[in-house]
Every structure is written in C-alpha cells, then in structure tokens.
C-alpha cells in the first residue's frame, strides 16, 4: 500500500514510553546513555507507526490528493486494504482517510482555480468516525480544485493519550528500542534479527505503511 501521500503535520508532544521506563526495561541505571535511550525510543516509535499505520500518541496527519475525485496514487490492494476490500483515496463525494485511530478531521483544504488556498466549510461535509477507514462525505459536491499535484489536503488528528496506548504496541516500542540501543553500530556483516515478537505485534495491528 502506498502511503506516500500521508505526512505528519504536527508531531506527538510526548513519546509513548518515557526514558525512565525505557531505562528500567534495559536495566540501565546511569545517565551516560540518556540521549541514546531517548533517540532509540523515538526511532522505535516511528518504526512501529510506519509499519502498522497506527498513530500511537495524539498527533496531526496530513493526507494529500491531486483532486477531489479519483485517487492520487496506485494503491495496491494489500494488507488491511485487501482484507477489508477497500482502497484509500476518493470516490464520488467520499474521501477515505488512511491511519488509525482517527479522533477528528481538522480541515479539508484545496487550491481553487486561481491557485488560492481555501478551506471547505465544515458545515458542508460530514465525517464518519465509526468505521475504518474513516470517511468524509460532502453533502452535495466538492468544489473544483486547481489542476495541480497536491491540490487537495486533509488535516486530521490521530492517536490516543499516552495512558491509552495499547499494551502490545507499547511492548513493541520497548522491544524495538532495546534492539536499536543494543545495536548502535554495525555488528559484522548484518544486524541481529529483529527481536522475537515484533513481527507478530506489527501484523496484528497493521493498517498499512505511513511515511512521515
């Protein structure tokens, strides 16, 4: 699945795992490696989010389209797309949003025929947050956008509070962060295999691939 049209507009304010929690997991009780521990947590979080398409902690994503009709990219029907029988993009008056869990849609924006950035009136569309993928419906017809790449973009809030992150995803972050921390440099011809359980955690939560 091609998620190259998805970017992170506003990063999460906090990591899902604190440095203190990670140091406890690593059984590290000194401060010399605090910077490396924090970096490993951030890298592990990005890895889990990219591989699953699940935003861990509240943040804002931006989804870009070339127009209000059709799809921006050739999105292969794999993973969750194949399982549930849908593709992300637009169809008729519906925009389907990648990512999970989605809290709300902040704005639907576009460049008009004069190349001026505009926001669609929130009273003119409805958001269905009760299914996956989350869908945006226009009550009549979407406005006409400029003929250009990335003429339409949607900003939306994804993720949950730190306290509500799923335990298996937290475990995945810790396992991956420990792997990165313990293999900070090349170790021979190849890195050690990913820690046991990472693949299972990713596959059981996979929604696709997100590019930040």
* Backbone torsions φ then ψ of 154, nearest 5 degrees: -120, 130
DSSP per-residue string spanning 109-161: EEE-TTS-EEE--GGGEEEE-SSSSEEEEESS-PPPPPSSTT-EEEEEEE-B-
CA distances, 181 to each of 24, 89, 153, 178 (Å):
13, 38, 37, 5
Is the Cβ–Cβ distance between 133 and 87 less than 8 Å? no
- The count of other CB atoms within 10 Å of the CB of residue 106 is 17
Strand order in the sheet with 152-158: 6-10, 59-65, 152-158, 102-111, 117-119
Query: Is the full-model pTM beyond 0.85?
Result: no
pLDDT tens digit at each of 212 positions of the chain = 347 889 999 999 999 999 999 999 988 888 888 899 999 999 999 999 999 999 999 999 999 999 987 543 334 333 433 333 344 454 567 899 999 999 999 999 999 999 999 999 999 999 999 988 899 999 888 999 999 999 999 999 999 999 999 999 999 999 999 998 887 765 555 555 677 788 899 999 998 555 44
- Under 8 Å between Cβ of 136 and 105: yes
Question: How many CB atoms neighbour CB 73 within 10 A?
Answer: 16
């Amino acid at each position: 699945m091609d998620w190259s049209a998805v970017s992170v507009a506003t990063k999460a304010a906090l990591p899902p795992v604190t440095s203190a929690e990670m140091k406890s997991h690593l059984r590290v009780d000194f401060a010399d490696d605090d910077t490396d521990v924090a970096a490993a947590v951030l890298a592990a979080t990005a890895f889990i989010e990219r591989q699953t398409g699940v935003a861990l902690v509240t943040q804002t994503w931006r989804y870009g389209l070339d127009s209000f009709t059709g799809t921006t990219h050739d999105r292969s029907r794999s993973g969750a797309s194949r399982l549930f029988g849908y593709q992300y993009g637009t169809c008729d008056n519906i925009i389907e949003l990648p990512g999970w869990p989605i809290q709300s849609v902040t704005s639907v924006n576009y460049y008009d025929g004069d190349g001026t950035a505009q926001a669609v009136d929130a009273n003119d569309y409805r958001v269905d947050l009760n299914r996956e993928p989350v869908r945006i419906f226009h009550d009549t017809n979407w406005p006409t956008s400029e003929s250009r790449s990335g003429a339409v973009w949607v900003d939306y809030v994804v993720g949950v509070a730190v306290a509500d992150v799923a335990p298996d995803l937290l475990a995945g972050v810790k396992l991956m962060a420990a792997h990165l921390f313990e293999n900070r440099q090349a170790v021979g011809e190849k890195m050690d295999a990913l820690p046991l359980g990472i693949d299972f955690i990713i596959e059981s939560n996979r929604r696709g691939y997100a590019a930040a």
